[in-house]
Amino acid sequence: MEERQPVIPVSRWRWGVAFVIFMTLLFCGRLWWLQIYQGEHLGEKARSRYLRAIVTRAPRGEILDRNGKVLATNEPSFNIALFPAEFSMDSADPGKICKVIGIPRETLESAIAKIKANKVPLFEPVRLVVGADFATVTRVLERSWELPGIIVLEEPLRRYPYGKLAAHVLGHVGAVTDEELKQRKDLELFDWTGKMGLERVYDKFLQGEHGREIVEVDARGAPIRRIRREPAQPGQVLVTTLDLELQKVAEASLQGKRGAVVAIDPRNGEVLVMASSPTFDPNWFSKGIKPELWRWLVSHKAHPMQNRAIATAHPPGSTFKVVTATAALIYGKATPKTRISCGGGRIVGRRFFRCWRRHGTVDMVKAIGQSCDTYFYTLGLAVGPERLAHIASLMGLGAKTGIDLPGEIKGVLPSPKWKRERYRERWYGGDTANMSIGQGYLSATPIQMTLVACAIANNGVIYQPHLVKERRSPDGKILGRVEPKVLRRIHAPVSVWNTVKQGMLAAVYGPGGTARLLADLPIKVAGKTGSSEHRKGAKTHAWFIAFAPADNPQIALCVMVEEAGHGGEVAVPIAKQILQAFASKLQAR
């Protein structure tokens, strides 16, 4: 009999065909997903396994004075670093590495700990020594075969060619912090950032763009060859408003003293001088400041890191009398011809408020020139504390100026409301008398008192003080320019300002003037001295404000020296040196 072939049920055949079709579609779909949809991404991922990017540091932008003189720049520096891609923690000899390089064991252990914790990319060098000397670099290169993974990098180092000059304005740089890395996406692990002054405020512009060197590596991560190089782009150039020569004169005159000098062009708010003493050298920070030096800086009783021009406030003493005079004239409580007899002081309430000497009968111009306390006690009481505080606020006291520096304070501008809120006490006539001559609760910074001088020089118009004129690309193209900005306008008749100016001229040229030392300068100067009491038994703070030339003001300044004596004896000689240098510049134009 013929053998019969088994018959496959139709249903099973159909299921088999369906399964084959399904698997084919699934396979094709997966191929499409990998080759088409994810192809580019996976290709990049594969390439990243043998291509690495090494960062090359960008030089920070330079900082110049108003005439193009370099205040902050960069210089080539040799840094010794641990390169994770070539460093073997198993075969490394930490003792030998530290001995050859000349670093503490803790420095190396800290770097190794970062690598173990995967906090450092494989191709990101960990700096062990910044700004290594020639002998150390030579030693490392000669013994490189003993130090696998230890490399020498040539990178830009921040340098301040004039050392301590304008240190509080320029600031300094330091290693990036974890907090900065969280806040700013443009920073990388081993960047250096501005920590103070203009370096801090304009850090994003000064940073530049790091370069990239793409290299091919083998399976162990060792470099084989360079694929391409993207050069680093230097940061933007800052052109400041500072005048280097005037800054030198100011800082030399403050040497050995605690104080500050601020000079501003009243026509536009450009800061010509900002000096604070004692000071520091920002170069100390460029290589990483030594711990013992840092402890000395922050614990020194004279606070050399503090910018006294904007971050220290004291009673302004008799320099405030020009504010009291302005208020009395604006509110009609006095005229230029108002005469008051000074017998050495006057009674306010139950207390006798002394004048520093007997002036006899004086009018307003003579009272400003000879700094008669009795005259201004009387004017202040007539004006009243609220109105006096209002005019003072219009002239810039009790508020930050908004200068482009960190750390500014606003001082204290007292009033009856302020005293109630602060001390839960009422305001007395004696408080008004003290405030009228720049004493009592009142305190101001040197930059604020410079704005007072600007207000008088400019007939009530005050410009925003600023330190940067413009930003430029490294090839000189202007990227941004700071235009003058009016901060306040004090609306008052020209006669008000002329009267106060006449009083300030009398301080320099009038009989009994407190600033007659300036009378022989080649330019006409209007000024006002001040000596403020602050602590029983201590010397007074010496103050002086001025502007020049008096008939066409181009500079307004303030000098403040702490616990130094009378303004006419201490602050005026400092101002004279600066004004003499400024006059020489005018003559040379």
At 234-263, the pLDDT tens digits run 999 999 999 999 999 999 999 999 999 999
Q: CB neighbours (10 Å) of residue 178?
A: 9
pLDDT band (50, 70, 90) for residue 32: low
Q: What is the largest CA-CA distance in the chain?
A: 155
Residue 303 placed within a domain: no
Amino acid letter, residue 213: E
pLDDT of the residue at 46: 47
pLDDT band (50, 70, 90) for residue 95: confident
pLDDT band (50, 70, 90) for residue 38: low
Q: Are residues 232 and 264 in the same domain?
A: no
Give the CATH number of the domain where residue 249 resides. Answer: 3.40.710.10
Secondary structure of residue 98 in the 3-state scheme: helix
Contact 128, 103 (CB under 8 A): yes
Query: 8 vs 186, which has greater pLDDT?
Result: 186
- Which tokens belong to 61? 């932008």
Instruction: Evaluate if residue 200 carries a pLDDT over 90.
Output: yes
pLDDT band (50, 70, 90) for residue 45: very low
Q: What angle do CA 285, 287, 293 make, to 5 degrees?
A: 50
Instruction: Evaluate if residue 16 carries a pLDDT over 80.
Output: no
Residue 514 phi, psi (nearest 5):
-85, -5
Instruction: Evaluate if residue 48 carries a pLDDT over 80.
Output: no
Q: Are residues 250 and 218 in the same domain?
A: no
pLDDT of the residue at 2: 52
Residue 436 placed within a domain: yes
When pLDDT is averaged across residues 551-575 and rounded to a whole number, the result is 97
Instruction: Evaluate if residue 96 carries a pLDDT over 60.
Output: yes
Residue 237's closest CA among 421, 471, 463, 408? 471
Query: 485 vs 221, which has greater pLDDT?
Result: 485
pLDDT band (50, 70, 90) for residue 69: very high
Residue 25 placed within a domain: no
When pLDDT is averaged across residues 495-518 and rounded to a whole number, the result is 97
Residue 470 placed within a domain: yes
Query: 139 vs 385, which has greater pLDDT?
Result: 385
Q: Are residues 216 and 262 in the same domain?
A: no
* Segments in 319-428 forming alpha helices (H): 321-330, 364-370, 373-383, 385-394, 416-423
Lowest mean per-residue pLDDT among 73-77, 126-130, 537-541, 577-581? 126-130
Q: Are residues 361 and 426 in the same domain?
A: yes
How many angstroms from the chain centroid is the CA of residue 514? Answer: 34
Instruction: Evaluate if residue 100 carries a pLDDT over 90.
Output: no
Residue 286 placed within a domain: no
Dihedral (Cα; 559, 565, 567, 571), 10-degree rounding? -40
pLDDT of the residue at 507: 98
Structural domain including 461 reads: 244-277+309-588
Instruction: Evaluate if residue 328 carries a pLDDT over 50.
Output: yes
Residue 117 placed within a domain: yes
Q: Are residues 576 and 434 in the same domain?
A: yes
DSSP 404: S
Q: Are residues 336 and 466 in the same domain?
A: yes
Residue 65 to residue 323: CA distance in whole angstroms: 33
pLDDT of the residue at 222: 56
pLDDT band (50, 70, 90) for residue 155: confident
Q: Are residues 152 and 74 in the same domain?
A: yes
Residue 46 placed within a domain: no
Instruction: Evaluate if residue 568 carries a pLDDT over 80.
Output: yes
How many angstroms from the chain centroid is the CA of residue 274? Answer: 11
Residue 23 to residue 5: CA distance in whole angstroms: 29
Q: Are residues 89 and 233 in the same domain?
A: yes
Contact 545, 522 (CB under 8 A): no
pLDDT band (50, 70, 90) for residue 141: confident
Q: Are residues 181 and 229 in the same domain?
A: yes
Q: pTM of whole model > 0.95? A: no
Contact 317, 532 (CB under 8 A): yes
Instruction: Evaluate if residue 29 carries a pLDDT over 70.
Output: no
Instruction: Evaluate if residue 333 carries a pLDDT over 90.
Output: yes
pLDDT of the residue at 120: 77
When pLDDT is averaged across residues 336-358 and rounded to a whole number, the result is 96
Residue 296 to residue 380: CA distance in whole angstroms: 45
When pLDDT is averaged across residues 475-490 and rounded to a whole number, the result is 96
pLDDT of the residue at 50: 58
Q: Counting Cβ atoms within 10 Å, is residue 290 exposed (0-12), middle (13-18) or buried (19+)?
A: exposed
Residue 299 placed within a domain: no
When pLDDT is averaged across residues 449-476 and rounded to a whole number, the result is 97
Q: CB neighbours (10 Å) of residue 53?
A: 17
pLDDT band (50, 70, 90) for residue 489: very high
Q: Are residues 225 and 319 in the same domain?
A: no
Lowest mean per-residue pLDDT among 56-60, 115-119, 498-502? 115-119
Instruction: Evaluate if residue 230 carries a pLDDT over 80.
Output: yes
Give the CATH number of the domain where residue 223 resides. Answer: 3.90.1310.10
**Overall domain count for the chain:** 2
Packing angle, helices 446-457 and 321-330, rounded to 10: 40
pLDDT of the residue at 290: 87
Q: Are residues 409 and 435 in the same domain?
A: yes
pLDDT of the residue at 79: 87
- Which tokens belong to 425? 């006490």
Q: Are residues 230 and 314 in the same domain?
A: no
Task: Please count the residues of the chain.
Answer: 589
DSSP 304: T
Q: Which of 191, 223, 240 is the last residue of a domain?
A: 240
When pLDDT is averaged across residues 417-427 and rounded to a whole number, the result is 96
pLDDT of the residue at 59: 93
Lowest mean per-residue pLDDT among 91-105, 218-232, 310-324? 218-232
End-to-end CA distance of the chain: 131
Lowest mean per-residue pLDDT among 150-154, 265-269, 304-308, 315-319? 150-154
Instruction: Evaluate if residue 156 carries a pLDDT over 80.
Output: yes
When pLDDT is averaged across residues 218-230 and rounded to a whole number, the result is 67
Q: What angle do CA 315, 320, 325 make, to 5 degrees?
A: 155
Contact 80, 137 (CB under 8 A): yes
Q: CB neighbours (10 Å) of residue 229?
A: 13
Average pLDDT score over the chain: 90
Residue 498 to residue 511: CA distance in whole angstroms: 19
